[in-house]
Amino acid sequence: MNQTGSKLGVESVAHAGQPAGVHVVPLKVLVAVWAVLLVLTCLTVAATWIDLGGGNLWLAMVIATIKATLVALYFMHLRYDQPFYAVILLTALLFILLFVGLVLVDTGHYQHQLITWTEPAG
């Protein structure tokens, strides 16, 4: 047996020929996450059949955020990695939120000055 593997307590991983510290996600977990993603996708499509006004966009964004979180946690293995990488991801997402928010505030401020397109007469 690998001495490094036995010292770190990852004997099963060392036996599988994987380097120490590698986490293998069980197939049951991956299939369950995939099924939840499919259900959330169907829910997103079903949400388009209901008229919530401006709430449709918010509902779709909440569902998309949940789906992105599941993908990042399980398929990108952030759930099993060092917390530092999650902090980096959250920081990047906060900057994206800041930039998109500033664009939306600017667009809302100048929305009344936009010229709407109309059909030519004739």
| Confidence bin at 27 (pLDDT 50/70/90) | very high
Which token pair is 56?
Answer: 């449709």
pLDDT at position 55 over 50 = yes
Q: What is residue 18's predicted lDDT score, i.e. its pLDDT?
A: 57
Residue from 74, 7, 3 nearest 36 by CA: 74
Q: What is d(CA 104, CA 100) in angstroms, rounded to the nearest whole number?
A: 6
pLDDT in tens, 9-21: 444 444 455 566 6
DSSP 16: T
Looking at residue 20, what is its pLDDT? Answer: 61
**Residues in Cβ contact with 35 at an 8 Å cutoff, skipping those fewer than 6 apart:** none
Rounded to an integer, the average pLDDT of 64-79 is 90
Confirm whether pTM is higher than 0.85.
Answer: no
pLDDT bracket for residue 54 (50, 70, 90): confident
| CA–CA dist 77, 22 (Å, integer) | 10
